[in-house]
Amino acid sequence: MFYINLLKKVIPSTTSSLRLIYFINLIPFGLLVYAFSISDFTLLNVVENSYINDPIFYKVTSAWGSHEGSILLWVFLINLFGVLFLYKNQTVEIHKNILFISTLFILYVIVSSNPFTYVEANENVLGLGLNPILQHFLFVIHPPTLFLGYIGLIIPFVISAHMLVNKNFSEKLFKEMLIWSKFSWFFLTGGIVLGSYWAYSELGWGGWWFWDPVENISLIPWLLNTALIHSLQVSIKSNQLKLWSLNLGLYCFIASVFGTFLVRSNLIVSVHSFATDPLRGLFLIIIIAYLLVMTVRLNIKSISNFNEDSFNLVSRESFLLLNNIFFICSALVVFIGTVYPLFSEMILKTSVSVGAPYYNFAFNLLLAPLILFMAFAPQINWEKHEKKDKQIPFIIIFSLFICLVSYYFLNNFYFALSVFITIPLFLKSILVLKNNFKKNISFYSQWLAHLSIGFFIIAAVYTEQFDYEENLLFEKESTNEVKLQNNKTAIIKNIKDEKFQNFQRISVDLLIYDGHKERELSPSKNIYQPSGQVTNEVSTTNKLFSQYYATISTIESNKVGINLVYKPFINLLWLSAIMLVFSIFLSVVKKR
Amino acid sequence: MSKAIYKIIISLLFVHISAVSFANVNELSDYYKTVRCLVCEGQSIQESDTEFAINLKEQIQKKYNSGISIEEINQELIKIYGEEISFNPPKYHILLWGTPLIVLLIIFIFIRNKIRFFNRV
Amino acid sequence: MKKHLLLPVVGLIVLVVSVIFYFNQSTNINNSRDEVSSLIFVTPDFYNNKLINENTLGEFYIVNFFASWCKPCLLEHPLLMEMKKKGVKIIGINFRDDEENFKEWINEHGNPFEYILKDDGTIAYEMGLIGVPETFFIVNKIIQKKIQGPLFYEDVESYL
């Protein structure tokens, strides 16, 4: 089947034949999904990743639970976007590039990770089952969402490549590029948020961001794409930074392929990783190396024309350029942090772990000035800004004051810093709203996005700095009541043992009494068939923006250990993330 | 005007860099978050319920209660388990820790050059 | 012009100084521990309450961490018994265990150890233990090899 595709690609293409090829490339993934849905145990991949008694929903979604399936999904999406893009733009050269990249991945599927490996059909095979950690609604939609984001970047990539090669900088193409990068940004942000919410609610570790390599490599394209969206505004509105945007567009997609490479080749250990296979790694290295060489060639070609941009220091353009540099630098920092353990192990022969302390340090340095700029930059005019903003010194002094007050009361450096950088943003947002009440949607989308970043930072820093954790130990018969901090009590009501279709659940009903209100929690442990794997199910209860978060740490015949975490403002964090996703949705919808 | 902005930016950045660089971990629970659970891929001992993590937490708690500073505990931990134990790599990994600073420096130089350029014009 | 340069230059100096100072906070440490924790020789034996005399151990001995709740420990148990028969001196360290369970475990499976110490985790910490079972091969008072997880015959072959 794949070989037919390859043959087709040699044939000179017209719009209809292009469409045909795209549709043919969509078929394999469809077949795989079908095989999973009917539990066709003649396929090795189905045997390994699906279980006959799983609900149908999980059966279908097991299709991309494995490495092979996810790469096939990758191919599927490339071609899906190709078809969609075909309705907007029929330039054959651009589509040839898309098909070329898709062929590379199809080759990869054939050579090193073919999901259609046959095995002898056997009546007794029931399947090994989807990893139970992955049996969660959020996880089912999380990888496809993230993939939509990653692969959405292929369109800006091919458009940039096309424009750089042909030196044809038409505004129409820039606009298409912007729409697609916004589209991809929507899914990337959505995917990252979903993944993070999944980790928070399913892993039961009590955190929402672990600076895990997989999270990091999804962050790199996100940061670059954010930069791209901003610089494309400049390219469209004031005809500047064109080469800059195009070169950036190339790297966004490379970053997302590189991300997949790092995860799939298992070079870096992480929670999400699949089995190691050196051939896969090698093949992906070749793909990346090829794309990278092409990109660098285009970079070198265009570098001599880089200096033709010129604009005023105090203008929207220069601030957007500054924003770009900040974002690209942040992406670079994340990249260094992610690959450094690898580098250190190979060259320095010591293994190190790079985690939160490093990223906190780096992001504090980089993001703080960025967000401070973010408060004022959107009000600066294009090209030349004449008017002096008399509010700036006032706002800075005011936020410095609030910052010192918060430091005095809460005695926490990070929170005070976050207050200092976000107060100008909040103030400015309110002030601006008064002047521009009836502006268009794009104003609101940008306004909302920036505001939600502000909320996000405040909420994230507050949660991280002021959460507290308690380990409660109950002994059956003797103690079923434990005193907590701040005059609260926790009482165990009863312990249940239930059986479900493919798992067994042991849950503990817990009551927290904080003076005037009782809150119920029922954390549980699920034991899955057939693997016997145990997962921790989290139970939460809300208190406005804050949350109690309980997991079972130990459960034995005579004692029960509960891990109770109080997470202040965690819901504000999720709310701001939803606002962020919604804001870009607004601007995409507006374009239609 | 632009010179004034530049000066303000620079001084703010310096305050910022030094503040961030010297902010230290003071609380034990924050420290736990920087200690890697070596048997559980990517988790810190704060989050993990494995015997390894529980024991390490107890031992650190004991040391801390007997008056040993977190910095000293960390040094000892690295001596025993290797650098891998800490999510906070030692500072002599200059390539790692220097990158954010260098990157910031580049941003800085960029702003400065822009200002010079426009002053001349 | 000179005034214009002053601030960046001062800034750069401050930056360099603070960076150097920052990087000098912690010095290079060698990260492998090759000596046995001295705690082993000050903790009394579980059964006869005597201290281990380092001199009577000879130039080669083994330190093995185990626990009754640890299933992989049973895998290596027959091997340890065999090694005891061949005269290898093994110090067993019972890691974070219930006393009753542990006694029962020894009675049920046999005792391959020359000495048994009960540990609340402190010795384990000092020896850099990652999990049970874990075995240290000590030659001339220096840790020559460390096996994490159950022992297999190949691991001990050369010492027998």
- Domain ranges (residues) in chain C: 38-159
Alpha carbon B108 to its chain centroid, in Å, reads: 21
Using CB atoms within 10 Å of the CB of residue A466, give its burial: 0 to 12 exposed, 13 to 18 middle, 19+ buried.
Answer: middle
As for how many domains chain B has, the answer is 1
Q: Which CATH number covers residue B70?
A: 1.10.8.640
Q: Cα(B98)–Cα(C146) distance, rounded to whole angstroms?
A: 35
Rounded mean pLDDT, A196-204: 83
Higher per-residue confidence, C15 vs A5: C15
Are the CB atoms for A157 and A255 separated by under 8 Å? no
Residue A149 is predicted with a pLDDT of 93
**Neighbour-count burial for C115-134, b at 16+ CB within 10 Å, e otherwise:** bbbbbebbbbbbbbbbbbbb
What is the average per-residue pLDDT within A478-499?
78
Q: Which of A334-343, A379-388, A551-560, B39-48 has the lowest mean pLDDT?
A: A379-388
Chain B touched by A318 (CB under 8 Å): yes
Chain C residues inside the 8 Å CB shell of B101: 15, 19
For position A226, what pLDDT does the model report?
A: 95
Stretch A10-24: mean pLDDT: 73
Tokens of A304: 């001599």
Residue C1 has pLDDT above 50, yes or no: no
Q: CB atoms < 10 A from the CB of B50, how many?
A: 16
Interchain contact B78–A (C-beta under 8 A):
no
Dig out the tokens for A358 from the structure.
């490093």
Using the predicted structure, report yes or no on whether residue A275 has a pLDDT greater than 70.
Answer: no
A486 falls within a domain: yes
Give the pLDDT score at C29: 42
- All chains having 3 or more CB pairs closer than 8 angstroms to chain A: B
Greatest mean pLDDT among A226-230, B47-51, C31-35, C112-116: A226-230
Asked if A475 and A500 sit in the same domain, the reply is yes
The overall average pLDDT reported for chain A is: 82
- Distance (Å, rounded) from C-alpha A278 to C-alpha A294? 24
A269 touches B at CB < 8 Å: yes
A474 with A462, same domain: the answer is no
A438 or A410: which carries more pLDDT confidence? Answer: A410
Q: Is residue A507 a part of any domain in this protein?
A: yes
Alpha-carbon span B44 to B53, nearest angstrom: 8
Mean pLDDT confidence for B94-117: 76
Residue A461 has pLDDT above 50, yes or no: yes
Contact C8 B17 (CB under 8 A): no
Best mutation site among C5, C9, C31, C120 for testing chain B: the one with the most B CBs within 10 Å? Answer: C31
Rounded average pLDDT over B70-94: 86
E strands, A70-116, where? none
Q: Which of A591, A313, A416, C125 is nearest to B60 (CA)?
A: C125
- B98–chain A Cβ distance below 8 A for any pair: no
Count of domains forming chain A: 2
- How would residue C23 be classed by pLDDT, with cut points 50, 70 and 90? low
Q: What is the mean pLDDT of residues A318-331?
A: 89
**Chain mean position to CA C66:** 12
A201-205, A267-271, A564-568, B44-48: which is most confident: A564-568
* pTM for the model: 0.87
- Please state, in angstroms and rounded to a whole number, the distance separating the CA atoms of residues A255 and A552: 39
The answer to whether B61 and C121 have CB atoms below 8 angstroms apart is no
In this predicted structure, the answer to whether residue C2 has a pLDDT above a threshold of 50 is no
- Name every chain B residue with its beta carbon within 8 A of the beta carbon of C122: 59, 62
The enclosing H or E element of C141 equals none
Higher pLDDT residue, A10 or A263? A263
Interface probe with B: pick from A313, A372, A414, most Cβ of B within 10 Å? A313
pLDDT band at C3 (very low <50, low <70, confident <90, very high): very low
Q: Which of the residue ranges A166-170, A312-316, A480-484 has the most confident prediction, judged by mean pLDDT?
A: A166-170
The per-residue pLDDT for A449 is 92
pLDDT band (50, 70, 90) for residue A229: very high
For chain C, which chains pass the contact test of at least 3 CB pairs under 8 Å?
B
Judging by beta carbons within 10 Å of its beta carbon (0-12, 13-18, 19+), is residue A390 exposed, middle or buried? exposed
Q: What's the pLDDT score for residue A273?
A: 42
| pLDDT at residue A452, as a whole number | 94
Given a cut of 50, whether residue C129 has pLDDT beyond it is yes
Query: Does B75 contact C7 at a Cβ distance shorter than 8 Å?
Result: no
DSSP code of A39? T
Per-residue burial over C10-29, b = 16 or more CB atoms within 10 Å of its CB, e = otherwise: ebeeebeebbeebbeeeeee
Residues with Cβ < 8 Å from A330, sequence gap 6 or more? A223, A362, A363, A366, A367
What pLDDT sits at residue A330?
93
| pLDDT tens by residue, B35-70 | 988 887 778 888 777 888 889 998 999 999 998 888
Residue pLDDT, tens place only, A140-179: 788 889 899 999 999 999 999 999 888 888 888 999 999 9
Residue B107, pLDDT score: 78
Alpha-carbon Rg for chain C in angstroms: 24
DSSP A569: T
Same-domain status, A447 and A487: no
**Range of A149-153, A442-446, A517-521 with top mean pLDDT:** A149-153
Q: Which residues contact B73 (CB under 8 A, 6 or more apart)?
A: B31, B60, B63, B64
Q: Which residue has the higher pLDDT, A134 or A148?
A: A148
Q: Min CA distance, C133 vs chain B (Å)?
A: 12
B51/C96 touch (CB, cutoff 8 Å), yes or no = yes
Percent of residues, chain A, with pLDDT higher than 90: 18
Question: Which of residues 1 through 20 in chain B touch A, CB cutoff 8 A?
Answer: 2, 9, 12-13, 16-17, 19-20
Domain membership of residue A513 as a residue range: 468-567
B100 touches chain C (CB under 8 A): no
Domain check: are A576 and A436 in the same one? Answer: yes
3-state secondary structure of A518: strand
Query: Of the spans A131-135, A508-512, A552-556, B108-112, which averages the highest pLDDT?
Result: A508-512
Of A326, A343, A364, the CB nearest to B20: A364
Q: Please tell me which of the candidates B7, B18, B55 has its beta carbon nearest to residue C18.
A: B18
What ipTM was predicted for this assembly?
Answer: 0.87
**Whole-number average pLDDT of chain C:** 80
Within this chain, do residues A553 and A513 fall inside the same structural domain, yes or no? yes
The Cα–Cα gap between A102 and A123 comes to: 37
Q: What sign results for the dihedral spanned by CA atoms A322, A323, A329, A333?
A: positive
Alpha-carbon distance A191 to A151, whole Å?
Answer: 12
Question: What secondary structure letter does DSSP report for A533?
Answer: -
* Confidence check: pLDDT of A344 > 60: yes
DSSP letters for A278-340? HHHHHHHHHHHHHHHHHHHHHHHHHHTTGGG----SSSHHHHHHHHHHHHHHHHHHHHHHHHH
Q: Do A362 and B100 touch (CB under 8 A)?
A: yes
pLDDT tens-place string over residues A87-106 = 888 888 888 888 888 888 88
Q: Tell me phi and psi for residue A523, to 5 degrees.
A: -65, 155
Rounded CA-CA distance A432/A374 in Å is: 13
Q: Decide if A554 and B49 are in contact by the 8 Å CB cutoff.
A: yes
Q: Quote the pLDDT of residue B2.
A: 59
Contacts of A339 in chain B (CB under 8 A): none
The yes-or-no verdict on residue A511 having pLDDT over 80 is yes
CA gyration radius, chain A: 26
How many CB atoms are closer than 10 A to CB C58?
A: 11
Alpha-carbon distance B47 to nearest alpha carbon in chain C (angstroms): 17
Give yes or no for a contact between A356 and B25, defined as CB atoms under 8 angstroms apart. Answer: no
Confidence category of residue B6, pLDDT binned at 50, 70, 90: low
Q: So what's the pLDDT on residue A510? A: 85
Q: Residue A455 — pLDDT band, cuts 50, 70, 90?
A: very high
A129 close to A54: Cβ distance less than 8 angstroms: yes
pLDDT reported for residue A224: 95
Domain span including residue B91: 2-120
Look at residue B5 in the predicted model and tell me its pLDDT.
67
Q: How confident is the model at residue A132 (pLDDT cuts 50, 70, 90)?
A: low
The top-scoring range by mean pLDDT among A219-228, A261-270, A371-380, C142-151 is A219-228
pLDDT value, residue A274: 43
Q: Is the pLDDT of residue C26 over 50?
A: no
Question: What are the CA-CA distances from residue A152 to residues A79, A155, A187, A220 (Å)?
Answer: 11, 6, 8, 15
User: What's residue A131's pLDDT?
Assistant: 64
Q: Is residue A23 part of a domain?
A: no
Q: In chain C, how long is the greatest CA-to-CA distance?
A: 88
Q: Which of C135, C79, C141, C66 minimizes the C-alpha distance to C105?
A: C66
Q: Are residues A410 and A472 located together in one domain of the fold?
A: no
Residue A514 lies in a domain: yes
pLDDT-based confidence at residue A395 (cuts at 50, 70, 90)? confident
CA A77 to CA A209: how far, in whole Å?
27
A31 touching B, CB under 8 A?
no
What fold is seen in the domain C38-159?
Answer: Glutaredoxin (3.40.30)
From the CB of residue A518, how many other CB atoms can be counted at a distance below 10 Å? 11
Quick check: B12 and B110 in contact, CB under 8 A?
no
Considering the domain architecture, whether residues A461 and A492 belong to the same structural domain is answered as no
Answer for the pair A327, A223: CB distance below 8 angstroms, yes or no. Answer: yes
Rounded to 10°, the helix A154-166/A171-198 angle is: 150
